[in-house]
Structure 1
Amino acid sequence: MDYFAAKNNRTMIYFLWVILPYTIKSITTNISTCPNQQWIEESLKKGHVPGAAIVVVNATHILYQQAFGYQSLSPQQPMDVNKSIFPLASISKTFIAAAVMQLVEQELVDLDTDVNIYLSEPNKRIFHPHYPKHSITLRKLLSHSASIYISDLVQYTYFQPNDDAFNESLADMCFKYVNPNTSNWLPKPPGTMTSYSNEGPTLAALVVERVSNMSYIDYVKDKIIKLLDIDINKVGVRLSDFANIEDLVKHYIYATNMSYVSELNHLFPQLNITQIQDDFPSWVYISHFGLSAYPAGLLRMSAGTLSIYLRMFLNNGFPILRPQSIAEIRTVVGGCLIPPYNPEWSNNSTGLPPSEEFGLSWYWQTMKDGRRYIGHSGSLPGMSHLMLVNEKNTLGVILLSNIDIGLTEYPLPEMSG
């Protein structure tokens, strides 16, 4: 779930261009040399990051793993790679693609068939009100090309304290916001533009529910988590899914001034947002919450658990998917010919369009030096994450953190070691 696009982009750039490439370079240059821990700690401190977990893997082994800082500032509780449970934010979307491709392999769904066939709701058909003949398909939903657009202010209402968001069913949430009687659509036909959304992938998760006759989270646990030999008790979406809530990483925001706290309370009046006194007067704490579009942003697990899933991707899908399915996920939908939609761009704009190229839930990012990575970023109030894989599909990196701020506003330490 990327609730502030601009903020998430700044955070992603910080991680993508500074910490993670340096980590990758350190390991690929000399496999026996760990990244400079002091430099990473300095970088996180300069960025006001309370805690983070970094894991680097290849197809068979963990090459590097390290926890930094704290999962709780008050009382202080150190971050732990394998025990600290994060909400994965939009990294959760990649699990939707895995679930859909499993159904494709079983010939239960087709990526290019109208999703209404699978939803089986004759009185609640989903289509673009101005382009009813342009079908909404799983491929379009997973590649953000279904012309769905819902404002940030509406999306802020998805967040609810504790497990309250689950009082609304996934079907009710989808049909409320993605239907022809709303204005939540781009002025372009589906399949002709890309626009990042949380509702498109969530609708794809609803298809998984309808076709499998299982709740989405039960499907993920039974068909993905179990097959990866992961303890299902270490994965969930609800707070009540976990025996010890103290294992859940706390959400923090570094406020540069107290008016920022007021702004947060204005945007999220339904959440419990408080300024930490004691030793951290500039930190804002957000109590645990959920969101109704949970498949797109609320899957919870540790960085260590996520690394097992990432190794599956590096193993071309084994043991949950066929290599052809991973190839489908990695393929840029539309062959890079579907442009992004942004009404603020003009023909004489000096700004460059985003470099993201969407596959199925995963997307490609091109570095300044021309190197390409595929993966997904994620942000929630008080969380910023990144998971990526190099172009050769030989190395994967995960960085999960409990911070929410435009980190590039702060000076970075010099890189050393």
Structure 2
Amino acid sequence: MHQAPLSRRTFGKLAGVAGLGLAGALNAPAADAASTWKTTGTAVSALSGFDAQMKTFMQARGIQGGQLAVTYGGRLVLARGYSTDTALTVQPTSLFRVASLSKSVTAAAVLRLVQDGRLSLSTPITSLLDLTPPPGQTADSRLSQVTVQRLLQHLGGWDRAISGDPLFKDSTISQALGVPMELSPADVVKYMAGQPLDHAPGSTYAYSNFGYLLAGQIVEKVSGTTYADYVQQKLFTPLGITRMAQGWSVAKHSGEVPYKSQYTGTTVLDESGATVAAPYGTFSMRLHYANGAWISSAVDMVRWASAFDKGSKVLDGTSLAKVWTKPETGVNSGGSYYGLGWLVRPVTTGGTGQNTWHDGSLPGTYTFLVRNYAGASWAVLLNQRDDASGLAYGDIDSAMWTAYNGVTNWPANDLYPQYFS
């Protein structure tokens, strides 16, 4: 049955987009896509519409590397890598930065602690974290009203449209605290503990990367281990996910794609003032560890999405219900809202249930993950988010829905055994 694209009825520009956060210098325009078109993975004739949409989308924007995985009825029915560059071959298991798709991981980590009786969503963050401001500054008295749940639903009171995103204010924080770059998450927390909130907690939806940094800090405090180790042990291992890892600011993991951008900026990884390519040092992956630092393949992302299906191996029914909880405020006129790590839109025409999704965006990265009302899911990962054409990247949403609605007979194949032991 036909469904409208997810993003058209939600928050305007999708909530997961993270800006460059600095003054980027425009280099020469991105080159046109090469005449070559390379694909990897098994072609599935019944799903050729997905391949066609990816080709059109990537070539129009000059995107060199992309990846797509599609599931239906719990089966992995399509896993493909795409490239418009003769020098790059993208496999279905190649790794990409997934940016804000990481938020569903952090939310699930928090929920797993709640599920195991080690944490409550109603707990004030001031009882879990040291939020002592720098000397001479006073903490906002309303911080005690910021609960764990409000962090996860972007209701903590920080608004990057008003005060800027502290995860992209490295130089400002370094100078204010008198500490060198590269900053640590603790540096950002210390700085923000002395800054006033932009809104009363719980009163205003405002997408906050910083809120998810704090959620990552809570996971570490309560679990007694590192965020990455806890996620791997409690969430990824039960699902058979072994390729996902925390990405690095400059170095690449084995099998990780290169990232492309027409912009440059000043490095935040040291005090050198060096000009670097935007994807490699104009932001710190160390700071984004809980809100945007995971790397993954598309097949791993749809496997991860299955953690939110009924019968999940990592979250019980009570936890899953909490994922889709409506916030105390921030439900838009079309009924869409931000749950815990996912955007949610109840289906009111052409079906029942809900569509859930998230996008991710950093310099050199654009990603999109969807779980739809009919039991299908898809993940699109791209190694670029800008180009000289100015074409929107959010249009991948409608492109994938066009492909989905064009399938007349879903295949019975299952590629999961090929990619997971």
TM, length-normalised to structure 1: 0.70
The structure 1 residue matched to 2:63, chosen from 26, 34, 49, is 49
Residues 295 and 153 from structure 1, CA distance in 2 versus in 1: closer, same or farther, beyond 3 angstroms? Answer: closer
User: Aligned pair 1:218/2:198, yes or no?
Assistant: no
Q: In proportion to residue count, which structure has more helix? A: 1
Amino acid at match of 1:273: V
Which residues in structure 2 correspond to 1:134-153 (within 5 Å)?
135-150=145-160, 151-152=163-164
Residues 68 and 133 from structure 1, CA distance in 2 versus in 1: closer, same or farther, beyond 3 angstroms? Answer: closer
Which residues in structure 2 correspond to 1:31-46 (within 5 Å)?
32-46=46-60
Contact 2:166 2:210 in 1 (8 A): no
User: Aligned pair 1:235/2:238, yes or no?
Assistant: no
Task: Please name the residue that 1:182 is paired with.
Answer: 195
Contact 1:317 1:325 in 2 (8 A): no
Which residues in structure 2 correspond to 1:110-259 (within 5 Å)?
110-119=120-129, 121=130, 123=132, 131-132=141-142, 135-150=145-160, 151-152=163-164, 154-158=166-170, 168-177=183-192, 179=193, 181-183=194-196, 185-186=197-198, 188-231=199-242, 234-239=243-248, 245-253=253-261, 255=262
Shift of 1:240: 10
Contact 1:136 1:146 in 2 (8 A): yes
Q: Distance in 2 between matches of 1:380 and 1:270?
A: 21
User: Aligned pair 1:273/2:254, yes or no?
Assistant: no
Contact 1:111 1:138 in 2 (8 A): yes
Q: Distance in 1 between matches of 2:266 and 2:133?
A: 34
Task: Please name the residue that 1:358 is paired with.
Answer: 338
Shift of 1:31: 10
User: Aligned pair 1:69/2:49, yes or no?
Assistant: no
Contact 2:365 2:382 in 1 (8 A): yes
Contact 1:56 1:396 in 2 (8 A): yes
Shift of 1:118: 2.3
User: Aligned pair 1:389/2:371, yes or no?
Assistant: yes
Residues 391 and 31 from structure 1, CA distance in 2 versus in 1: closer, same or farther, beyond 3 angstroms? Answer: farther
Amino acid at match of 1:176: Y
Q: Distance in 1 between matches of 2:292 and 2:213?
A: 9
Q: Deviations over 1:221-264 (max 9, x none)?
A: 11111111222xx222144999x7351121112x4xxxxx4xx4
Q: Distance in 2 between matches of 1:225 and 1:270?
A: 38
The structure 2 residue matched to 1:338, chosen from 330, 339, 342, is 330
Q: Which runs of 5+ in 1 are unaligned?
A: 7-29, 160-164, 256-260, 275-283, 341-352
Residues 391 and 38 from structure 1, CA distance in 2 versus in 1: closer, same or farther, beyond 3 angstroms? Answer: closer
Q: Distance in 1 between matches of 2:76 and 2:388?
A: 28
What percent identity do the matched residue pairs reach?
A: 20
Contact 1:193 1:339 in 2 (8 A): no
Q: Deviations over 1:142-184 (max 9, x none)?
A: 000010134447433459xxxxx9964433432332x1x214x
Amino acid at match of 1:2: V
Q: Deviations over 1:258-311 (max 9, x none)?
A: xxx4xx42697967635xxxxxxxxx8747962413210101121122221112
